[in-house]
Amino acid sequence: MKKLFVISGIVLVVAFVVLTILPVKKTESPKISEPQQALEKGPQKTPEEIIKKKKKKTPAPVFEHRAVSLKILQQKARECMAKGKCPENILKLCGLTKVNGFVIDEKNKDIILFGKVDTTSPDLYLEDFVIALRNAWWKYASLKGYTYYYSAPGCSIDPNPKTIQKLQQVGRKILSTSGEVESSLKQWHAICSQPQKVRVLGIPFDSRFAKVMVDADYYMKGLVDGSVSSEIPGFISLTDMTLAKVKKDVVQRRPISVPFLCMNRFWFFPGKNQYLEDKGVVFIKQCQVKLLTEEEFLTKRGEIAGKGRPNPLAQKFAEDFTAQYEEIAKRKPIYTELKNLFRFVALAKIMKYKDIPAEAQLDFNYFLSHCPLSRTPVSRTLPGLSHVKGFQHRQDFPGGYQIAQLWLPSCGGVAIDIRISKENFVKDETKALLELKKAILKTRPSPDALYWDFQAATKWIVKLKNMDKHLVS
């Protein structure tokens, strides 16, 4: 009897490949167990159940281009917060669903955010923008001695190393027995569902900002192990990739080509960031969210450490996820919300890097130090994810047959570390941004206007599209 043990994962996805050679009489019928049917139902809830689905907005999309005064927004937020209740247009950034950039209103000493209003997209929240500003200004940096320690906004859902050790023990148990594995797989489910620690970095733990990051990370782990579906044709989980690879090797009677022991970490990270600029105006040309991965291992001290390289199948999944990010976000709005957080962080860091408040002569003190934030509870632990897939293949040969039984049980970060430098900025030589700035300021109803639409001034859109089709996407 020959048994192969394979582990891969999202912080951890583990697979058991059991290849059993049975020399029997040809007249004897093989007894093949089917554990996967009974064990595909793990005891824990899926990310789909834990992260409540948002109701789909049914109206046809309505697109508008809107400008929002940060000066007036800050004034009105200060007034209504003092009364203990603010209207929705203050709390939800005046209906903006995507921020594309900002212009400086020199005459009114103001900074104007501009972006799109899409009735089918998730709302933007003032408190998320405030948190991004405070992070960029190091308001959440910790002081130790005489040194401030800064962390970019981020989160991580980490399994206990002892849990991984227990899973390895289950694997060794399967390797050492020739009997049924149903009980071991049940034990696997029980161990996998043990709580995993949630960490939040660089921002308040119990905040909407943090919850979006944690929910996006947790759901991604379900997409990795296949316990939830992206519903995108051709986009498959890491578990299914591994299953297909091993199945092909078994059917073609080749050595198993996937690693026998492989743990993979996945996390969201900034991709390419580029900004168009001209005098007093900045436009976000690109603010990509990438999924990265690194292979990990358990050290002799029982600690999880990175190998500094990706597993090929995990790398393929990460690349596919990044390429399909916009399609995934259309089906799972949590990823649109995550991308909006990346854009908020980019805008805040641009403002800090270029000292935009000083240039506009606008005091951000209320947003940076006094604006209260609502408390959004974020779980300190989340149950590990467990999912089982498998197949069985029989190969006859003289004097007996060979049965290959494959089980793929799996056991389930975000780092918005956007760094701004002069290389991120491109001067707009077309003058389209200056036309955009002129259109926004010209259509401002009054100096005390909170927000206004500028749909009539659309010549700049055509010019921007001609420069780069992704600029207004």
Sorted by where each begins, the domain ranges of the chain are 2-54+122-427
Q: What is the pLDDT of residues 151-161, one digit of tens each?
A: 999 999 988 88
Backbone φ and ψ of 281, nearest 5°: -150, 135
Percent of the chain with pLDDT over 70: 71
In our burial notation (b when 16+ CB lie closer than 10 A, e otherwise), range 310-343 reads bbebbbebbebbbebbeebbeebbbbbbbbbbbb
Q: Which pLDDT belongs to residue 26?
A: 41
Count of beta carbons in the 10 Å neighbourhood of residue 427: 10
Local confidence band at 332 (pLDDT 50, 70, 90 cut-offs): very high
Both tokens of residue 271? Answer: 């991709």
The predicted structure's pLDDT at residue 340: 98
The pLDDT value recorded for residue 357 is 98
Q: What is the DSSP string of 337-376?
A: HHHHHHHHHHHHHHHHHTTHHHHHT---HIIIII------
Token pair 């975000």 is at which residue?
A: 414
Please report, for residues 271, 290, 295, 319, 327, the alpha-carbon distance to residue 323 in angstroms, rounded to integers and kept in the order given: 11, 9, 21, 6, 9
Q: Is 31 helix (H, G, I), strand (E, B) or coil?
A: coil
Average pLDDT over residues 391-400: 66
Tokens 């939830």, located at residue: 228
Please count the other Cβ atoms lying within 10 Å of the Cβ belonging to residue 52. 8
The dihedrals phi and psi of 290, each to the nearest 5 degrees, come to: -115, 150
- Please give the structure tokens belonging to residue 186: 């049940």
Q: Is the pLDDT of residue 276 over 80?
A: yes
Is 1 a residue whose pLDDT tops 50? Answer: no
Indicate the Cα dihedral angle 445, 449, 451, 452, nearest 10°: -10
pLDDT digits (tens, 9 = 90+) for 204-260: 999 999 999 999 999 999 999 888 999 999 999 988 888 888 778 777 777 766 665
Fill in the DSSP letter of residue 110: E
Residue 106 DSSP code: T
Question: Kindly report the CA angle at 176 between 174 and 182, in degrees rounded to 5?
Answer: 30
The pLDDT assigned to 269 comes to 95
**Angstrom distance (rounded) from CA 196 to CA 452:** 46
Backbone angles phi, psi at 397, to 5 degrees: -150, 165
Q: How far apart are CA 265 and CA 292, in angstroms?
A: 8
Per-residue tokens: 363? 């005091």
Stronger pLDDT, 195 or 40, i.e. the higher one = 195
> In this structure, what token pair is assigned to residue 418?
């956007």
Q: What pLDDT does residue 425 have?
A: 96
Distance CA 389, CA 157 (A): 23
98-102, 173-177, 181-185, 438-442: the lowest-pLDDT one? 173-177
Asked if pLDDT for residue 31 goes beyond 50, the answer is: no
pLDDT, average across residues 57-64: 57
Exposed / middle / buried, residue 419 (Cβ in 10 Å: 0-12, 13-18, 19+): exposed
- Phi, psi dihedral angles at 308 (to 5 degrees): 80, 10
Instruction: Tell me the three state secondary structure of residue 22.
Output: strand
Of 19-23, 352-356, 408-412, minimum mean pLDDT range: 19-23
Please give the Cα distance from 342 to 336 (Å, whole number).
Answer: 10
CB 37: neighbour CB atoms within 10 A? 10
Q: Of the candidates 175, 171, 195, 196, which has an alpha carbon nearest to the alpha carbon of residue 185?
A: 171
Percent of the chain's residues with pLDDT above 90: 54
Which pLDDT score, from 0 to 100, does residue 388 have? Answer: 67
Span 141-158, average pLDDT: 93
pLDDT tier at 473, thresholds 50, 70, 90: very low
Q: Is the pLDDT of residue 129 over 60?
A: yes
- Rounded to an integer, the average pLDDT of 114-130 is 97
Q: Greater confidence, 70 or 299?
A: 70
Q: Are 226 and 239 in contact (CB under 8 A)?
A: yes
For residues 351-363, give the mean pLDDT. 98
Calculate the average pLDDT of the chain.
Answer: 81
Residue 112 has pLDDT above 90, yes or no: yes
Per the model's pLDDT, the better-predicted residue between 427 and 46 turns out to be 427
Q: What is the sign of the dihedral through the CA atoms of 308, 320, 42 and 246?
A: negative
**Which 8-state DSSP code applies to residue 11?**
S
Check: CB of residue 124 under 8 Å from CB of residue 343: no
- Tell me the pLDDT tens digit for each residue of 302-322: 666 666 777 889 899 999 999
- Across 6-31, average pLDDT: 40
CA neighbor of 328 nearest in space, from 426, 223, 409, 256: 223
Residue 302: the pLDDT is: 63
Q: Is the model's pLDDT at 449 over the cut of 50?
A: yes
Taking only the tens place, the pLDDT of each residue in 72-96 is 999 999 999 999 999 999 999 999 9
- Which residues are paired to 263 by β-bridges? 296
In this prediction, residue 52 carries a pLDDT of 52
**Helix locations, 34-181, DSSP H:** 35-39, 47-50, 70-83, 88-91, 126-136, 161-175
Burial 58-91 (b: 16+ CB within 10 A, else e): eeeeeeebbbbbbbbbbebbeeebeeeebeeebb
Is the pLDDT score of 360 beyond 60?
Answer: yes
139-143, 178-182, 344-348 — which one is most confidently predicted on average?
344-348
